[in-house]
Structure 1
Amino acid sequence: MGVPLVYFNSWSEQYRRPFGAVRIGSVIYFSIQIEQDAAAEVNLMIQKDGNPFHEVLMNQAADESRRFTCKFKTEGTPGLYFYHFRITFQEEGNVQTIYYCKAADLYGGEGRIVSDLSQVEQYQMTCFQYADPAPEWYLHGVIYHIFVDRFFNGNRHKQMLHPKKNSFIYATEEDRPYYIRDKNDQIARWDFFGGNLSGIIAKLVNLKRLGVTILYLSPIFEARSNHKYDTGDFQKIDPMFGDEKIFKKLVSKAGQLGIRVILDGVFNHVGVDSVYFNRYGNYGSGGAYQDASSPYHDWFTFHGDRDHYDCWWSITDLPTVNKAKISYQKFIYDSEESVVDTWTETGIGGWRLDVADELSDGFIAGIRNALQRHEKKGEHKVLIGEVWEDATNKIAYGKRRHYLEGGMLHGVMNYPFRDLIVNLINGKINARQAVRSFMTLKSNYPPEALLANMNNLGTHDTERILTVFQESQRKLGLAVWLLMALPGVPCIYYGDEAGVVGGKDPDNRSFYPWGKENQQLKAVFQEAIHARRTDPHLQHGAFYPFSLGPLFGCLRYVSMNQFTVLLVNPTRDSVNISLGQLKDETNGSLLRSCLQSLDLNGDRSEPMEYHYYHFDRS
């Protein structure tokens, strides 16, 4: 007995509408094509995350299209639904059951038939509470990520303020970062170059010329390390960086140039050398380690004695805070004197939350509520989380996370996009694989979150992007244009535009090469940033990835009469552009119509070349 031809495409509104993530309470229409008369019963098998399956009988269309259709209403709380199709058919008295589910590559869109239920990989449908857009100033911006100690020393004669005990200062700004470790592989001496807040103020005009509208700063609060993720005192700027007066000056000066400042909120853990824990007694006789009666003592979880305690990823230098403690919540966000309120009051644009997966949904919602208190006084604030995977289906510590479903995060750091860009340009995936992966992410994320994600090519936690591309400027050029064209807010890691190279931490944190920038590469960044800043399609247009043979394309559009197309050739070969090679993953007509308007047939694309088309018939 033969298996019938079955077709469903989760990205085509001919088969599932509306597209992608939906608001809870929405009615979803499903349709599946079965090219055989013998189908006896077709069921949509759908389940709310963690609940049993719900069977929905699909009805055969009255015409001769051989389609089976049904509708399903999402109900209750927001979250994820997962679904596949069960098809029973008979021929010559024999009955067989098959299943239609996601393809073997685990992406959405076109799926596959399997006969074994254990092989079923389900489609995902995200349901959010309500549309939760980020502020317009953020969505239309370009971010510059500064590792403060490594950017610029703005003091006269480059004097270093308040150098820390048991640390060392590099002899020149060209020195490569290096950790000095003890016999237990712990960092014995923290190293510093001397970058500070005054240095950022001194370079604001340079950043403005580059096209930057938002500064995302690595942590600035007092801490022993150079990176400051081991907070010593949330209420004090690190003396090596400056003080509160200098910080307010930075916010003010940046604001005069149309640049907002986003701070790094590190609220999951603190430093072992902090006023809260105080293992070494550098903060007097108080702190959880020194005094069991300290008001901070119950913020931490000790095991047997004071030398054994919960810490982040077993790093004893970073004691984990119990975020369920009411006193800690009040300290961080739930009072007018809280950390979030105090620093937001200075006029910053918002926060990026470190290790957001370590924070509960309630904790994140509390921070968001604190920011909204300040929105009554002026412009809207943004809240972004550090998440390395697809944030829509993230499970952390056995719990599904709901931080993109309304009232929590506006978006997350978009490491999946970074991985796709890198793998496409380095030849690890082809254009169609990239498209299918991009489409899966597009369909999983609420539309507002997709536009609000902080897209990056490199951060302080990754190798330098030029190093990832074997110092190929052509590859980096393609990546920068993709960064500016894809949905989300582009973020540049300081020095990437200047040609800085480096491996993993700490080599990726060298000092900015002032006066020695790669001007050719910087010009590429400026051109791509200018396109992003002046082309509204790239800022908020709908997103449609596609492939033309080996070429990867990205359509951003307002309508068929107004759109932008970026086409890149990530291969080592010259390619003749032909619309006959177009692969549209939704089987729609809009994409082909737009591309036909550009009259691309016969054009030639050279290796590692990009093509930027802006079309406006109006």
Structure 2
Amino acid sequence: MSRRQVYFNSWSEHFRRPFGAIQTGESVRFRIHIELKYVLSVILMIHKDGETFHEIEMVRKAVQNKEFEASFQTYGASGLYFYHFRIVYRDRDQTERTIYYGKADDDCEGRGNITEDRSLLKQYQLTSYDHRDPAPDWYCHGVIYHIFVDRFFNGDPHHKIQNPKKNSFIYATEGDTPCYIKDENGEIIRWDFFGGNLSGIIAKLPYLHDLGVTALYLSPIFEARSNHKYDTGDYRTIDPMFGDTETLQKLITKAGRLGMHIILDGVFSHVGADSHYFNQFKTYGDGGAYNNPNSPYFDWFTFSRYPDCYDAWWNVRDLPSVNKSNVLFQDFIYRSPESIIHRWTKMGIGGWRLDVADELPDTFIAGIRSAVDQHTTKEEGKVLIGEVWEDASHKVSYGLRRHYLEGGMLHGVMNYPFRLMIINLIKQKITAEQAVRISMTQKSNYPDEAFRANMNNIGTHDTERILTVFRGDKRKLRLAVQFLMTLPGVPCIYYGDEAGLPGGKDPDNRRFFPWGREDMETMSFYRSAIGERRKDINLQVGNFFPFSIDRLFGFIRYSSDEAFTIAVFNPTPVDQAIEFALFNDQTDEGRTERRVRELFSDGILVAAFDFIIKRK
């Protein structure tokens, strides 16, 4: 059976209106085109996540018309709906048959597939959100710079290391390659440091401002034994190697004068075994849950056999998991007026990024958001971003569907799916058409405000550096950077990438910034790409419609019908011509193609691993 005999496209408003995620209580009109001659019934099969199906009979629009239509109103609390179509017809032999139309095999939305086997059916997704929940303008219009504090810059005039830790080692030079010292079990037994600190960031604020950065996302800065600080020792204290509260306040103030905001890393899923709360090594005296069952922190943790058998984050014994449903822990983190969220947010930071947000209950995230919002003013809002590696709109964690993008929790998430799409497209592991389908699927699954607020990246402290991903090929790097600065969402640069810093997996991706040894060619195209974004409102917050032209990937972004920006990328090693006979925007509506034709003509060449941006 031909795909065109039964056709539906969730991205075309002719077939599903309105497009994308909708506010709960709104109605959606569905329409499906059927060329089959003897149609007996067409049923919209739709159900709310976890509930039973609603079977809604679709009505033929008019006699002899080949389109069937039905409407469905979302209801109750926000959440997901899943749907497909059941079609009963008679074939030429007058045999009654049932077929199903659902999502395509590539797991993307848009055009779907027919199947007679219901077990092979993939359901379409409809996201309903509670309320519009836009991130602050300063965030959405900005460019973020992610700093791994120990590896950025030492602000001491003599490069003396502040308050070095016991049983650790300091690298001989800032150009050394990071390494771990581990025991026979693979456990790190001696942490390594370069000596970067908050005063170093202050010293480099002019550099960051000149680069075009408007927000600094800092890796954890609270006291901890490690160099990365995800093993929190004391949430109330800045790590002495980094500075103190006064230094942080100075950073916030001086950055603010340059139009920059500070985003802190909130690590609330677990703490360090060497912490004020667990205190396995008695660094903090004789108290702590590990040493005393009567400790006020004892109920923060879950012991199966006291004291050595306890829940730990991903079974890493150095990172005891915290019970997020514990009321005292909730008070400590966000509910009390003296909580950690209030303590640091009231200093004037721009917001928080939540580590492993999947492992924090929705109610916990909502509590943090409520506390953060208490520091929002008419002049300036605060932002809350979560670490999620997959499509966050339908994420299931610990057996529970997550609702953190549906209003009142996260403004957006770290956009690892876009990172993977960019890399795979440039490495020719996916086609331009597949990249269109991937990006359109995210656009249709996410509430619009969340889609715009995602923190996009092409590298973080948890991934290989982007230059190493492309094996030193600067043409591919330049293309990836241009993607980062032009795709919807807020771009985030991993420190040192703009200087051409290479690096494999942890710890190699955490080298010290190569001050005085920067690659100036790489610096140049980072500055250029940042500048393109900073001067173009469409690239900051404009609507987004991607398209492909054979092997070329492109998109249009616009804030109004009168002014738009179009980018066309060639992710291949040979020059490619724009040929409109091969134009494909996946929506079947033609509006995108008409706008592209306004600015581009057939036959224009896009050079290998290059791009063209035009504006109207």
Q: Name the structure 1 match of 2:396.
A: 395
- In the other structure, the counterpart of 2:515 is 514
**SS at 1:552's partner residue?**
strand
- 1:30 alignment partner in structure 2: 30
> Aligned equivalents of 2:578 and 2:377: distance in 1?
52
Residues 14-57 of structure 1, C-alpha deviations (whole Å, 9 max, x = no match): 10010011110111000000012311100000010011111000
Match for residue 50 of structure 1?
Answer: 50
Q: 1:519 to 1:3 in 2, by over 3 A?
A: closer
> Could you say if the C-alpha distance between residues 507 and 2 of structure 1 is closer, same or farther in structure 2, counting changes exceeding 3 Å?
closer
Ranges in structure 2 where 5+ consecutive residues have no aligned partner: none
Would you say the 8 A contact 2:570–2:611 is kept in 1? yes
1:457-508 deviations in Å (ceiling 9; x for gaps): 0000000000001111110111111111111000000000000001000000
In 1, Cα distance between the equivalents of 2:235 and 2:246? 16
| Deviation for aligned residue 1:378 | 5.3
The alpha-carbon deviation at position 63 of structure 1 amounts to 4.9
**What's the CA shift string for 1:147-184, capped at 9, x where partnerless?**
00000000120011110000000000010000000111
What amino acid does structure 1 have at the position aligned with 2:500? G
Q: Structure 1: which 5+ runs fail to align? A: none
1:416 is matched with 417
Structure 2: distance between partners of 1:224 and 1:191 = 10
User: 1:593: Cα distance to partner?
Assistant: 1.3
Aligned residue number for residue 68 of structure 2? 68
Which residue of structure 2 aligns with residue 158 of structure 1? 159
Q: What is the DSSP-based 3-state SS (H/G/I as helix, E as strand, rest coil) of the residue aligned with 1:504?
A: coil
C-alpha distance in 1 between matches for 2:277 and 2:239: 16
Which range moves more in the overlay, 58-67 or 311-320? 58-67
- 2-side partners of 1:127 and 1:89: how far apart? 32
Structure-1 residue corresponding to 2:254? 253
Q: 1:394 to 1:288 in 2, by over 3 A?
A: same
- Residue 587 of structure 1 is matched in structure 2 by 588
Aligned to 1:147: 148
Counterpart code for 2:21 = A
Letter in 1 for 2:119: S
Aligned partners of 1:297 and 1:377: how far apart in 2? 41
State the alpha-carbon separation in 1 of the partners of residues 47 and 2 from structure 2.
29
**Aligned-partner SS, 1:437:** helix
Tell me the secondary structure at the aligned position of residue 158 of structure 1. Answer: coil
CA offset at residue 572 of structure 1? 1.1
Question: What does residue 171 of structure 1 align with?
Answer: 172
CA contact (8 A) 1:560 1:594 kept: no
Q: Structure 1: how far apart are the matches of 2:175 and 2:44?
A: 62
Where 2:158 maps in the other structure, the secondary structure is helix
Aligned ranges for residues 97-116 of structure 1 at < 5 Å? 97-116=98-117
Alpha-carbon distance, 1:95 to partner = 0.5
Q: 1:540 & 1:365 partners in 2: Cα distance?
A: 25
Structure 1, residues 550-606: CA drift from partner, whole Å, max 9, x if none? 000011012343110111100111112111211020011210111111133121111
Whether 2:435 is the aligned partner of 1:434: answer: yes
Q: Aligned AA for 1:564?
A: T
Match of 1:543 in 2: 544
d(CA) in 2 for partners of 1:439, 1:247: 40
- Given that residues 3 and 113 in structure 2 are in contact (C-alpha distance below 8 angstroms), is that contact kept between their aligned partners in structure 1? no
1:528 aligns with 529
Structure-2 separation of matches of 1:250 and 1:560: 41
Mapped to 2, the partners of 1:560 and 1:276 lie a distance apart of 56
Q: What letter corresponds to residue 85 of structure 1 in structure 2?
A: F
Distance in 1, Cα, partners of 2:588 & 2:413: 30
- Which deviates further from its counterpart, 100-109 or 258-267? 100-109
The question of whether the paired residues in 2 share the 8 Å contact of 1:101 and 1:123 is answered with: yes
**Paired residues of 2:569 and 2:609 also in contact (CA < 8 A):** yes
Q: Secondary structure at the match of 1:333?
A: helix
Superposed displacement of residue 105, structure 1: 1.1
d(CA) in 2 for partners of 1:255, 1:494: 20
Q: Which moved more, 1:51-60 or 1:368-377?
A: 368-377
**Other-structure match for 2:313:** 312
Deviations 1:343-374 (A, max 9, x none): 00110000000000110000000000001111
Q: Decide whether the 8 Å contact of 1:485 with 1:554 is kept in 2.
A: no
Task: Indicate how the Cα distance of structure 1 residues 377 and 594 shifts in structure 2: closer, same or farther if over 3 A, else same.
Answer: closer
TM-score between both structures, scaled by the size of structure 1: 0.98
Contact 2:31 2:68 in 1 (8 A): yes
Secondary structure class of the residue paired with 2:277? coil
Using the TM superposition, give the Cα deviation of residue 71 of structure 1 relative to its aligned residue in structure 2, in angstroms: 0.5
Q: Identify the residue that residue 472 of structure 1 maps to in structure 2.
A: 473
- Measure, in 2, the Cα distance between the counterparts of 1:492 and 1:106: 30
Instruction: Compare 291-300 and 571-580 and name the one that shifted more.
Output: 571-580
Q: How do 1:145-294 and structure 2 match up within 5 A?
A: 145-294=146-295
Paired residue type of 1:70: A
Partner of residue 459, structure 1: 460
Question: 2: distance between equivalents of 1:69 and 1:302?
Answer: 57
**DSSP 3-state at the match of 2:559:** strand
Preserved CA contact (<8 Å) 1:560 1:590: no
**2: CA distance, partners of 1:477 / 1:64:** 54
Q: Distance in 2 between matches of 1:164 and 1:559?
A: 55
1:121 match: secondary structure? coil
**Distance of 2:64 and 2:470 partners within structure 1:** 54
Superposed displacement of residue 3, structure 1 = 9.6
Q: CA deviation at 1:335?
A: 1.2
C-alpha distance in 1, partners of 2:205/2:513? Answer: 14
Amino acid at match of 1:5: Q
Distance 1:58 1:210 in 2: 56
Instruction: Look up the SS of the partner of 1:487 in the other structure.
Output: coil
Q: CA deviation at 1:336?
A: 1.1
Distance 1:596 1:175 in 2: 52
Distance 1:16 1:519 in 2: 49
Correspondence for 2:567? 566
Bigger shift: residues 493-502 or 32-41 = 32-41
Do the aligned residues in 2 keep the contact of 1:351 with 1:384 (CA within 8 Å)? yes
In structure 1, the residue corresponding to 2:349 is in which secondary structure?
A: coil
- Aligned to 1:539, the other structure's residue is in SS state helix
Q: What is the CA distance between 1:290 and its match in structure 2?
A: 1.1
What pairs up with 1:588-603 in 2 under 5 angstroms? Answer: 588-603=589-604
**Partner residue of 2:87?**
87
Q: 1:96 is matched by which residue type in structure 2?
A: R
The DSSP-based 3-state class of the residue aligned with 1:375 is coil
Letter in 2 for 1:250: L
- 1:154–1:200 Cα contact (<8 Å) kept: yes
Matched letter for residue 491 of structure 1: C
CA contact (8 A) 2:272 2:318 kept: yes
The Cα of 1:317 is off from its aligned counterpart by 0.2
Q: 1:497-532 CA deviation, whole Å, 9 max, x = no partner? A: 000001000000000000110111111011110111
- After superposition, the C-alpha distances for 1:277-322 in whole angstroms (9 at most, x for unaligned) are 0000110011111111110011001112201100000000000000
CA contact 1:560–1:593 (8 Å) conserved in 2? no
Paired position in structure 2 for 1:552 = 553
Contact 2:272 / 2:278 at 8 angstroms: preserved in 1? Answer: yes
Say if 1:4 and 1:36, in contact at 8 Å, map to a contact too: no
Q: Is the 8 A contact 1:149 1:196 kept in 2?
A: yes
CA RMSD of aligned residues (A): 1.2
Give 1:277-426 correspondences, 5 Å limit.
Answer: 277-376=278-377, 379-426=380-427
1:18 corresponds to which residue?
18
Shift of 1:377: 7.7
- After the TM superposition, which segments of 4 or more aligned residues of structure 1 sit over 4 Å from their partners? 1-4
In structure 2, the residue corresponding to 1:96 is in which secondary structure? strand
CA distance in 1, matches of 2:244, 2:105: 55
